[in-house]
Chain A
Amino acid sequence: MIAILRPHSWDFPLFLHVFGAMVLFGAILATTTLSFVGWRVPALARSTFWALLAAAIPAWIAMRIGAQWAYSKEHHQLFEKDPTWIGVGFIVADLGALILLLATGFAVWWQRSQKAVAGRVVSGLAVLYLILLVVAWLAMSGKWGS
């Protein structure tokens, strides 16, 4: 019902948040795929790095700015105490920054050294972040704990 009651001044921050999150999901899906196939085809290490650097990180920035902007407009008017879905969103967003930076670092190492272990770490981090993103969108769209 929030969508029905929401004032139009909240629309752009929400759009930025949702659009960033959707592109971020797509970028992590591409990263996961590229990193797993890259175990057999080392040339894909470079594509994995670029998917993270040029797509996932900018999308994360858009998602996080949108989230903070929307939160600053909504939370005083809608909640006395942050519900579960807001907490899940913040945890996944902020933990996601760490995972993204680690994955990008390992992707650089993988691209330069061609060491298989670096590729496997990137795959593991990408799968972990993909799962966290799914949990976050389910929590936030289902308004868990409201």
Chain B
Amino acid sequence: MTIKRLFLLVEVLNALDECLPGCRWTIGRHNYRIYPPDGGASCRFPTGAHGKKSGRAEIQRQHVQNLAEVFGVKECLEKALPGL
């Protein structure tokens, strides 16, 4: 099994498009906030220092795993994001 420590935000958002279409996201001062389409609990990633607006920000694997669990799309995200 191959794992990655970091994922680009844009990769995560593209994978979410596949697994849970209709998600939207916003950028706060400290966190990205990802909203599920059904209005359930949202999920947050720290923005970090780089690539905030370009989608090139790097997100640690465990944050993505947490999102997958919160949104109930673990299996799909693991397929869409090899290395998760």
Real complex partners, A and B?
Answer: no
Binding site for B on A (CB under 8 A): none
Binding site for A on B (CB under 8 A): none
